[in-house]
Every structure is written in structure tokens, then in C-alpha cells.
Amino acid sequence: MNKKFYVTTAIDYVNAEPHIGHAFEKVIADALARYRKSKGDKVFFLTGVDENAQKNVQAAEAAGIAVKEFIDKNAALFLDLCKQLNISHDKFIRTTAKEHAKVVHEVLKKVTDKGDIYKGNYEGHYCTGCETFITKKYLVDGKCPEHDKEPEFLKQEAYFFKLSKYKEKLIKFVKTYIVPESRKKEILSRLKEDLKDVCISRKDADWGIDFPGDKNFKVWVWIDALINYISGAKEKWPADVHVIGKGINWFHSVIWPAILISAGYELPNTLLVHGYLNLGGKKISKTLGNIIDPLELLKKYGADPVRYALLRCSVFDDSDFSEEILIKRHNNELANKLGNLVSRVTGLIEKNGVEKTENKLIKKLNLKKIENYIENYEFDKSLNEIFAFIDICNEYVQSKKIWETKDKKALYELKESILKIAELLWPFIPESSEKITKQFSAKKIKKSEILFKKI
Ligand SMILES: [Zn+2]
């Protein structure tokens, strides 16, 4: 029987255009979705945008554009990013959709019925970048460490969620939930401190989803955003893997499961927390002015070279990324190794044909190791293994001197091996993989045109 596999990305704020970090997260989730699909699972893949955040409103005001118009414009860019990156999502959710607000109310009704919401007063420092209150001790020099910005002081009436009630359950749950270990430890040590109830409303906002039963308040945008994983997928819930960045670990590790337990929903299986991309050792950020525009890169190089360079980065650790790194990867690995192999072997087969034989060459491919790496989200290591086998295939052509010997049996082994390589590369570089499969499955194999033009 086919297993269900439901994977999500975080939904992106539309306060600005997409940056390379958004592309990184989407290709991680896409590689997972495609891998599970290739294993025969019934995949559902959800991505989308967070449109109800206060920071979207601030950005629209700063740009002098009506909020709705501003949001539509940026949401379209995120959707285009998915298209240009060849992302295989099944649904792109926008949280201003009416159906979404309905589900937010349904979930909050269940939490209210459980007796887990109460009214009180809140005083604290709110970072609009994070869209959350930050406890003083997490500030660095009085600033939010994530945004390097001083939060604003807010004092207001508010609705609270009884988060503290779920402390023991959460400690137990996150032990099996969070990957990698370092991110799990971070949450566990914070959970063991005093866990406070969380404010889930905003009083001064006029944008967002109305708080159920009290129009003077809006739902805190994080509660609204997290519920997209249910409203965007309904009967597919629970999620098998939530893919998120390390900056929003707490919301997904603590607040989200607590809301789900309170409302009586099943819990998601895995939270995959990825690292950030750096440029020259520095965090990529607007304030530092070192933004890489993924749409520009995609226009220049196409989906597969961008996907490949991103998936060559570690999922868990922060990695350095730049256009130079992309070009190097593209030339050295895609063009010189994979492209060269495909071009040579198709050319030799066109001239000499193939003769069926036992494929001894493929025994040098360590399939189990590759799959283990993918299942542990170590995509960079699985690509290392696949490319080590591509090297072996190139050496095979050399050592057998096929252009002289016209060894049809060796060409058969190569053809079958390259078909397997294409299958293994499909989660990473789908377009090229499909091209290679088509070429080597043809009745009459012809010399391939250049797959990856050197940059
Ligand atoms: Zn912040």
C-alpha cells in the first residue's frame, strides 16, 4: 500500500521580495517530496505565504501602496519563485483566503472549549520582524538577535493561551519531533526553564483575522500562520515533515504542538530545522545589503543549476552561498562530470549500439548509503555518493577505451547505470534527470546535445 507523505514549508512573509533563503527551504522540501514520490508514496506538498502579519502592513505603508495591492504583488513573486524553481507543490496557500480564517476560528473554538484561553493584560517587548513578544533576557544589547532591531514596548489587554499547562507533554514530545539533535537540545533547555502562557491576540492591529467572539482584537499572526498546515491540507493532516528555518524553531516546536494537543488534533511527525545561507561568512540580510535575488539567478541559469548548488549546501549547518559557488558547482560537477558522461556515452552508443549483458558496473553504486543519507536529510552527502559513481562511470569509458574497442557490452552497462543515476538525481535536478531518462530510453539513442553549457 502507498504511504501518505505530507510535507510543508514555512509560509513566507510577503513584506519583501523573495531572497535566496526562501529558495533554499523550498528546494529542501521539494527534494523530499520528489524522493518520497519516487518511492511510490502518495505525496501532498504545501507551501504558501503569510499575508496577515503586521510587518506586511508596515512595509506596504512604507512603500505607499494599499496593503491588499502590495500583498498581491509580492505573493505573485513567491508563486513565481516556486514555478521557476520547478517546485512540485500541490497547494500554494494565501492566509487572507476566507477558508483559512474559517479553520483558524474552528481550531480556536476547540481551544476555548478546552478552557485554555483567558483574558489578561500584557506588557512586553514586541519585535515586528519576528512578530512576537521577546523576553528581555533573549535580547542582545537591547535588540532582537534575529533582526538586530530594538523591539517596541507594548502594554495592552490580551487573550492568553495556557501554554504552561502543556510543559511536561511538550518535553516528552519534542524528543522524537525535532531534527537535528542540536536544535532539539536548544528547545529542551528552554522548555525546562519557566514556561509562560502566551499572548495570542493583538489589540492595535486593523489587519488580520478577527479574534473569535471579540472584534476588538485580531488573532496573533503566529497562531493564524501555524494553522495553515491544517487549513491548507485538511484531511491530509497530520504532517509527516514540517521544513522550517532555525529562527522559527520555538513557534513550531512548542506553541504549535501545544495548540494541537489542546484542540485535540494529531501531532506532526518530524520538524526539520534547516540552517541559514551566508555570503562571505555573513548572514544574508537586507540591512547588510548582500541579498541574492533568486529570481535573477533563475533567469540567468535555469532551475537545475540553482537547485543543485542549493542542495549541495548542508541542510543543518549554516553554509556559504554565492553566485561564484553556483558557477563552480555547475561547471565542475554538472557540466564536466554528468554532462560529459551523458554526451560521450550517447555519442558512442549512436555509433556502436549496445549488447545486453550483466551490469557489473552498477555494483559499484552504493544505493543503500545514498538512500540512508536522503532519509537523514543529508542531501549533500547523498550527492557526493551519486557523483562518486558518475566519476566511476567516466573512468570506465576511459579504462575500457570504448572509442577504440567499440565494446557494446560496456556501453550497455553504462546505459543502464546512467538511467539509474538519472532516477537518483530526479529529486534534486528533475528537468535534467527527465531529459537524460528520455535520451537513454529511446529506441535509437542519439548523441545528446549539451545538457549543461559551461558558464
Ligand atoms: Zn526579531
Contacts of 63 (CB under 8 A, 6+ apart): 70
Per-residue pLDDT of the chain (455 residues; tens, 9 = 90+): 679 999 999 999 999 999 999 999 999 999 999 999 999 999 999 999 999 999 999 999 999 999 999 999 999 999 999 999 999 999 999 999 999 999 999 999 999 999 999 999 989 999 988 988 888 888 999 999 888 889 999 888 999 999 999 999 999 999 999 999 999 999 999 999 889 999 999 987 889 999 999 999 999 999 999 999 999 998 999 999 999 999 999 999 999 999 999 999 999 999 999 999 998 778 776 666 777 899 999 999 999 999 999 999 999 999 999 999 999 999 999 999 999 999 999 999 999 999 999 999 999 999 999 999 999 999 999 999 999 999 999 999 999 999 999 999 999 999 999 999 999 999 999 999 999 999 999 999 999 999 999 99
What's the CA gap between 117 and 105, in Å, rounded? 13
Q: In what order do the strands lie in the sheet with 210-211?
A: 201-202, 214-219, 210-211
The rounded Å distance from CA 217 to ligand 1 centre is 22
Closest-CA residue to 230 (of 73, 336, 111): 111
What is the percent of the chain where pLDDT is above 70? 99
The pTM (predicted TM-score) of the whole model is 0.95
CB atoms within 10 A of CB 215: 8
Q: Beta strands 117-127 and 152-161: pairing type?
A: antiparallel
CB atoms within 10 A of CB 198: 23
Q: Quick: pLDDT tens for 339-373.
A: 999 999 999 999 999 999 999 999 999 999 999 99
What's the CA gap between 393 and 370, in Å, rounded? 17
**Mean pLDDT over each residue of the chain, to the nearest integer:** 95
Domains of the chain: 4-274 (3.40.50.620), 325-441 (1.10.730.10)
The rounded Å distance from CA 101 to ligand 1 centre is 25
Q: Quick: pLDDT tens for 288-317.
A: 677 789 999 999 999 999 999 999 999 999
The rounded Å distance from CA 309 to ligand 1 centre is 29
Contact 370, 423 (CB under 8 A): no
Contacts of 62 (CB under 8 A, 6+ apart): none
The rounded Å distance from CA 59 to ligand 1 centre is 15
Which residues are marked as active site? 19, 22, 127, 130, 144, 147, 283, 286
